[in-house]
Amino acid sequence: MPNGEVHIRVRMTARPIDEPHRVSSQLELLFDLTFVVAVAAVTEQFAHTIAGGHAGSGVLPFLQVFFAIWWAWMNFTWFASSYDTDDVTYRILTMVQMAGVLLLAAGVPAAADHGDYLMITSGYLVMRLGLISLWVRAGLEDRASRRTAFRYAIGIGALQLGWFARLYVADAGASDGVLLAAFIGLAALELSVPRWAERPRPTTWHPHHIAERYGLFTIILLGEAVLAASNAVRRAVEDTAVSVELIAVAGCGLVILFALWWLYFLHPAGPRLEDRRNRSYRWGYLHYGLFAALAALGAGLEVAVEQTGHELHLSPTAAGYAVAVPAAGFIGLLWVVHRCLAEPTRVQFATTLAGMTILLTLPLATPAVGAVTDLALMAATCVAVVAIASWNARR
C-alpha cells in the first residue's frame, strides 16, 4: 500500500496473471521468518540425531516434520500469489498461520525423540484454520472462482481430520509401519487437493512471483545451513582452541553452500513457468526434495564441524555421508526440477551424474585421507559442477 496505508477491507478477487512488477510483499517476508524458526528446530534436531549415531532412524521423522513445514509454506505462498489483498483481515489470518508455525516448531523435539506428534499436529491445525478461512473468504467474494476456493477449503479441512485420526491411531498403539503408511496416504491426499480443487477453474498465480518466493525460501534454507555450521563452530571454540582443521571445515562448508546457491539460480524459473504453467505442479512438488536436502545439508555440516572439535559416536565415513548425501541429492533433484521446465542438454546430464557419483564415493576415502581433505574434495567437486554448468549455460 502507498505511504504505508492499510485498507480495512478489500474485496478478495483473483489478481492478474500478468501483473507487472509483482514481488514478494513485506507480509510474505515476515511470514517466511517464522519458518526460519521451524526449519532451525528440525535441522538442529536432525544434527543431534546424526551426531548420536542414529541417522538411519532419524531420517523418516525428519522428512515427516519437514513435509508439514514445507506444505504449510507452499499452500500459503500459492494462495497469496492469487489472492493477496493485504487488508486487515488478510493480515490477521496470516498472523494466525504464523502462530501455528511457531507452535509446530515447539513440537519438533518431542516428535524426534519420542514420536509424539501432538504439538506438531496442533500447530498444523492452527495454520490450516487460517488458510481455510482465507479460502472461504475467497469463495464468498470471488464468484468466478467460488467452486475452486470452496473445494480447497473442504479438502484441507477434511484432511486435517485425517491427521488427528492418525494421532488417535498412534495413541492406540499402532505399529510404526501402520503410522508410516497413514502418513504416506495422508501426504498423497494433501498433494492431490490442488489438482482436484482447480479442475473447475485454475487459480491465477503469478509465475515470476512464485519463482521469487521459491528462491527466497531456498536462501532461507541456505542461511539455516550457515547458522547451523556457525553454531557448531562457536561450541567447538568454547571447548577447544581454534584450529586450522576447524577453519578449513567451516570454509569448505561455505564453499559447498555457495556452489549450490549458484546452481539453483543459474536458470531463472520465472520466464519458464510463464510459458509452461501446466508443469507447475511437478516443478513445485519436486522442491520438497530440494528443500529437504538443503535442510539435511545444514545438519550434516553441523556434524562435520562438531566432529572436528569433539569425539562423536559415528565413524568418519558416516560423518562424510551426512554431507555428501544431501549435497548429491540436491544436485540430482535440481536437474529433475529444471527438466520440468526445459529440456536439459547432454552436458547437463553428464555433469549432474558425475558430480553425484563423485560426492557419494568420496566419504569412502575419509579414513585414508582425513575428514578435512574429504570435505575439501567435496567442495571442489561442487565448484567443478558449477563451472561446467555455467559454461554450458553460456553456450
Grid coordinates standing for 260?
Answer: 549450490
pLDDT in tens, 310-343: 667 788 899 899 999 999 999 999 999 998 988 8
Q: How far apart are CA 137 and CA 89, in angstroms?
A: 10
> Quick one: which of 135, 66, 133, 137 has its CA closest to 101?
66
Say yes or no to pLDDT of 125 above 60. Answer: yes
pLDDT in tens, 18-35: 888 899 999 999 999 999
- Name the pTM for this structure: 0.93
pLDDT in tens, 130-148: 999 999 999 999 999 999 9
Average pLDDT over residues 212-231: 90
pLDDT in tens, 185-205: 999 999 999 999 999 999 999
Say yes or no to pLDDT of 153 above 80. Answer: yes
pLDDT in tens, 289-299: 999 999 999 99
Please measure the distance between the N-terminal and C-terminal CA atoms of the chain and give it in whole angstroms. Answer: 42
Q: Which one of 1.20.58, 3.40.50, 1.20.1410, 2.60.120 gives the CATH number of domain 207-394? A: 1.20.1410
Q: How far apart are CA 87 and CA 241, in angstroms?
A: 53
Q: Is 252 exposed, middle or buried (0-12, 13-18, 19+ CB in 10 A)?
A: buried
Say yes or no to pLDDT of 272 above 60. Answer: yes
pLDDT in tens, 204-219: 999 999 999 999 999 9
Say yes or no to pLDDT of 157 above 80. Answer: yes
Say yes or no to pLDDT of 242 above 80. Answer: no
Grid coordinates standing for 300?
Answer: 550434516
Q: How far apart are CA 100 and CA 98, in angstroms?
A: 5
Annotated domain spans of the chain: 24-197, 207-394
Grid coordinates standing for 321?
Answer: 555421508
